[in-house]
Amino acid sequence: MKRKKSERLFAKAQTLMPGGVNSPVRAFKAVGGNPLFIAKASGSKIYDADGNKFIDYVASWGPLILGHAHPRIVKAIARYAARGTSYGAPTELEIVMAEKVSKAIPSMETLRMVSSGTEAVMSAIRLARGYTGRNKIVKFEGCYHGHADSLLVKAGSGLLSLGIPECPGIVPELAKFTLNLPYNGAGEVRELFAREGGEIACVIVEPVAGNMGVVPPQPGFLKTLREVTRKSGTLLIFDEVITGFRLSLGGAQELYNIKPDLTCLGKIIGGGLPAGAYGGPRKIMESVAPLGPVYQAGTLSGNPLAMAAGIEMLNLMSKKKVYADLEKKSQKLCDGLRKNAETLGIPARFTRVGSMFSMFFTDKEIVDYASVKTSDTEMFKRYFNAMLEEGIYLAPSQFEAGFVSTAHTDEDIETTVSAAKRALKKAKTCNKMNR
Ligand code: KE4
């Protein structure tokens, strides 16, 4: 596969940006080699600077659920760009967006638009602390909620111990208020809340984990979170930055019928442009400035172009059969990938909820971060690169989710499954040769 242009661009990029990228996971560190520089994309395909074409399952890490450059979204952006790109003043578009989100996700009675998932989560955490007057927060190992300080915290020595900074620059005095529990650890949650529930401002959870690869909630896990938080006056925050409008129009909370206190959104609601949102019942959101004392602001919050793209996205996602179509294609893909691994006798586990999926090279049941970490990442690395050579673009990390879009055709799925069989064979053979 020709990569000269990408190599040249990457060399130049590295002289100007840390690691040559504007977000670390793009640097291909987990899979070796250098990142491809993408020149354009359309539908289910992306094209790199050397003209190589790929069937894309990254979807810009989730937002492009309708595929790239959807004509109706491109038209909406162009139409509003001609009217000016930002005013720093309220617009009708923000009302239309807020109405659509609140209608689709009724728990978000009122909401605030921001410009990223990180901003949505950071603001929701501050609101939870301000609203409850408590400092401690609970997150789950393997979940990622953006790069706000309180969320870049890993478990201390004992799992139930207070958090320690995940990287330099996080103040230890702040980190200690973040507690990490095992995802799907309903028992550990009950234990913690029995002991100190009254001190906990919020629990934040990916209702379907997507940042350690896809790990679905075990039966009863989300219900336990809802019960213990309600009992202790703790706010339950669903981080639906990935799952919002991905799993259903009402997100994971509709799918699992659990009503959180606050919801964070991102990715899909911007239609591929920078947007995020957080929201919940009026009585909580009334604490947010300028109504209440919890401050949060943003120059480009509710940006008209992002709103125009997001509104078009939500209009298109509201059409009948969209989710049924995504389910059918995603099932066909994962059934095919599973069959490949079985035929070749390669230990693999598959997880999928709707159109987000993962393949782990392990024979352990995938239920939490510990089980995910048993995956053979060297095997994934060989498989990822073999798939790239086959013209299939997967997320460059075992610990990310894959995404199917409405633009993926049956032919794309069939091409992917047969390519994956060859890639698996190659990855397995290389493994034998390296022994
Ligand atoms: P952003 O700030 O990247 O828009 O959103 C942060 C975020 C919050 N919550 C969840 C559940 C998320 O998945 C994310 C961001 N996801 C990562 C990859 N899974 C974005 C890719 C990247 O970091 O470049």
pLDDT of 431 strictly over 90: no
Which of 274, 300, 317 terminates a domain? The answer is 317
Q: What CATH number corresponds to the domain at position 148?
A: 3.40.640.10
Task: State whether 295 and 419 are in the same domain.
Answer: no
Domain coverage including residue 339: 4-69+320-433
236 DSSP β-pair partners:
203
- Tell which residue, 185, 204, 200, has the closest CA to residue 143: 204
Ligand 1 midpoint to CA 185 (Å): 23
What is the model's pLDDT at position 251?
A: 98
- Tell which residue, 384, 351, 383, has the closest CA to residue 366: 351
| pLDDT tens readout for residues 244-274 | 999 999 999 999 999 999 999 999 999 999 9
Longest dimension (CA), the chain: 65
Average pLDDT of the residues in 339-362: 98
pLDDT of 315 strictly over 90: yes
> Which residues are part of the catalytic machinery?
144, 239, 267
Task: State whether 298 and 349 are in the same domain.
Answer: no
Task: State whether 234 and 276 are in the same domain.
Answer: yes
What is the model's pLDDT at position 293?
A: 98
Question: What's the domain count of the chain?
Answer: 2
Task: State whether 158 and 248 are in the same domain.
Answer: yes
Average pLDDT of the residues in 361-383: 97
Which of 317, 340, 373 terminates a domain? The answer is 317
Task: State whether 32 and 111 are in the same domain.
Answer: no
What is the model's pLDDT at position 156?
A: 67
Q: What CATH number corresponds to the domain at position 61?
A: 3.90.1150.10
Task: State whether 256 and 303 are in the same domain.
Answer: yes
Ligand 1 midpoint to CA 267 (Å): 8
pLDDT of 81 strictly over 70: yes
- Tell which residue, 294, 316, 385, has the closest CA to residue 65: 316
pLDDT of 430 strictly over 90: no
Which of 317, 352, 374 terminates a domain? The answer is 317
Task: State whether 297 and 204 are in the same domain.
Answer: yes
Q: Is 28 in the pocket of ligand 1 (CB under 6 A)?
A: no
Q: Which regions of 281-420 does DSSP assign to beta strands (E)?
A: 349-353, 356-360, 392-393, 402-403
Beta strands at 178-181 and 136-140: parallel, antiparallel or unpaired: parallel
pTM of the model: 0.97
Q: Is 61 in the pocket of ligand 1 (CB under 6 A)?
A: yes
Q: Is 118 in the pocket of ligand 1 (CB under 6 A)?
A: yes
Task: State whether 82 and 51 are in the same domain.
Answer: no
Q: Is 207 in the pocket of ligand 1 (CB under 6 A)?
A: no
Confidence of residue 228 (pLDDT cuts 50, 70, 90): very high
Which residues are CB-contacts of 345 (< 8 A; sequence separation ≥ 6)? none
Task: State whether 229 and 112 are in the same domain.
Answer: yes
Ligand 1 midpoint to CA 116 (Å): 8
Which residues are CB-contacts of 12 (< 8 A; sequence separation ≥ 6)? none
What is the model's pLDDT at position 433?
A: 61
Task: State whether 356 and 408 are in the same domain.
Answer: yes
Task: State whether 343 and 205 are in the same domain.
Answer: no
What is the model's pLDDT at position 113?
A: 98
Task: State whether 18 and 94 are in the same domain.
Answer: no
pLDDT mean across residues, the chain: 96
Return the residue matching tokens 């200690």.
176
Q: Is the Cβ–Cβ distance between 9 and 49 less than 8 Å? A: yes
What is the model's pLDDT at position 158?
A: 56
Return the residue matching tokens 């709103």.
307
Q: Which atom of ligand 1 is nearest to the CA of 266?
A: 4
